[in-house]
Amino acid sequence: MSADVRILAAEPGCHLFGDNGCGFEAPTIGMFFPEPWYTGIPRSAGIDLYLVLLLVAVGAVLLLWSWFSKKLSLVPGRRQSVGEMLVLFIRDNITRPTMGAKGDSFIPFMTGIFTLILAMNFTGLIPGMIPVNSNLAFTAMFALVIYVMTIVIGVRNQGGWGYFRNQIFPPGMPKPIYVLVTPIEILSVFLIRPVTHALRLFATMFAGSLLLAVFAYGGWYMLNLTAEPLLAGVSVLYSGAALLGYVAFFVFEIVIMLIQAFVFTLLASLYINQSLEAAH
């Protein structure tokens, strides 16, 4: 099913009920470190599959949006309606609930970031491929962009000191509480928040594709048609169960990819809202 599975298939018989006595080799995190094609860049893994998949994702998003936004009319066709639905989905489920009407200017940004992250997740659905966001570098980049945006917007809207004061000293609390709250807020807002923002997306994509790989590897390992007829039949049953699991988790993974793209965008919207609002 995946690239590694194909490699395994080429290797001579490491299967259930095989006679060469080798056991099941689970997929390792090595699958997230594809062999680079060019390594000449210092302090880097170089050019590898991730960058190609990133290119595919970006290309898909560009194509999708140029398709959605061409020949627009007041009476929309099916194609235009889908594009509008996506924009309205972002508006009604992300920017409006978090920022209200004043966040409407962020709809394009949130729509763009949502579709890009979604496309970067969906590369994992291509057989044998991995989600681009299963590498921390990309999610960290997104989180950092949002982090910088929140600070810039916050300082611009509430003034330098005003923004940091609102973040560090949440208003409306009895003074002594700040001894406790302020360190927590500093940690949470300026350290934990961006890190979890990046890690959440990365970890779910990482774990999800690893899980899919386990089912794929297991299914392939348990399939042994060269064994005795009875054992071969059993192996087909085992393998079929693994395939069912794979299909189920594949569907589950699609949902997770959607949810994680949504959650990332929703959190970005929430963080930006805290910078938009003056003292609250």
Partner 1 sequence: MLVELAAEYNILRIDWVKFTFGAIALAVIYFFVVRKAVPRVMKVLDERHDAIEGGIERAKRAEAEAEEIRQQYREKLEESHREYAQELEKAKEQRAVIIAEAREEAQTEANRIIEAAKAQIEADRQQAVVQLRGEIGALSTELASRIVGETLSDGAAQNRVVDRFLEELEQDESAKQAEVR
Distance CA 171, CA 278 (A): 11
136 binds partner 1 (CB under 8 A): yes
Q: Is the CB of residue 215 less than 8 Å from the CB of residue 246?
A: yes
Nearer to partner 1, 58 or 241 (CB): 58
Q: Is the CB of residue 18 less than 8 Å from the CB of residue 227?
A: yes
101 binds partner 1 (CB under 8 A): no
Distance CA 210, CA 32 (A): 9
Q: Side-chain half-sphere of 192: how many Cα atoms within 13 Å? A: 7
Residue from 54, 118, 213, 266 touching partner 1 (CB under 8 A): that is: 54
> Residue 72 CB, nearest distance to partner 1 (Å)?
4
Q: Which of residues 203-262 bind partner 1 (CB under 8 A)?
A: 206
Residue from 140, 242, 267, 276 touching partner 1 (CB under 8 A): that is: 140
DSSP string over 232-268 = HHHHHHHHHHHHHHHHHHHHHHHHHHHHHHHHHHHHH
28 binds partner 1 (CB under 8 A): yes
Residue from 80, 95, 166, 235 touching partner 1 (CB under 8 A): that is: 80
Q: Is the CB of residue 61 less than 8 Å from the CB of residue 115?
A: yes
The residue ranges that bind partner 1 (CB under 8 A) are 28-30, 32-33, 41, 43-47, 50-51, 54, 57-58, 61-62, 65-66, 68-69, 72-74, 76, 80, 83-84, 87-88, 107-109, 111-113, 115-116, 135-138, 140-142, 145, 206
